[in-house]
Amino acid sequence: MPEKLLNNNLSIEKYQQNMENKNNVPVFTFTITAIIVGAALYKQFDFVTLKFEKPALAIVYFIVFVFSIFVLIKNFKKRAGK
């Protein structure tokens, strides 16, 4: 019985290590997404009139941008806590 528990603990540790390695892909994806969407928001904003060219599209861009930044900050805090 103790051997079974030991094997389960080892498999849990391997699973956690595997999940930590897989966590790098979303970080890269969300970083690229934030850069592209942030640049698109910047390009659409008219600084003379202080308005967006396409307000509905700007709202969608803003939501995606904020979500990407949120995920990146959440991941950064998670890694800093380790």
Task: Note the pLDDT tens digit of each residue in 17-44.
Answer: 666 656 566 888 999 999 999 999 999 9
What integer is the mean pLDDT of 44-56? 95
Neighbouring C-beta atoms of residue 67, cutoff 10 Å: 14
pLDDT value for 57: 96
- Sign of the Cα torsion 8, 22, 75, 62 reads negative
Record the pTM. 0.69
Would you say residue 50 has pLDDT above 50? yes
The SS3 call for residue 47 is: coil
Kindly list the domain boundaries of the chain, sorted by start residue: 24-80
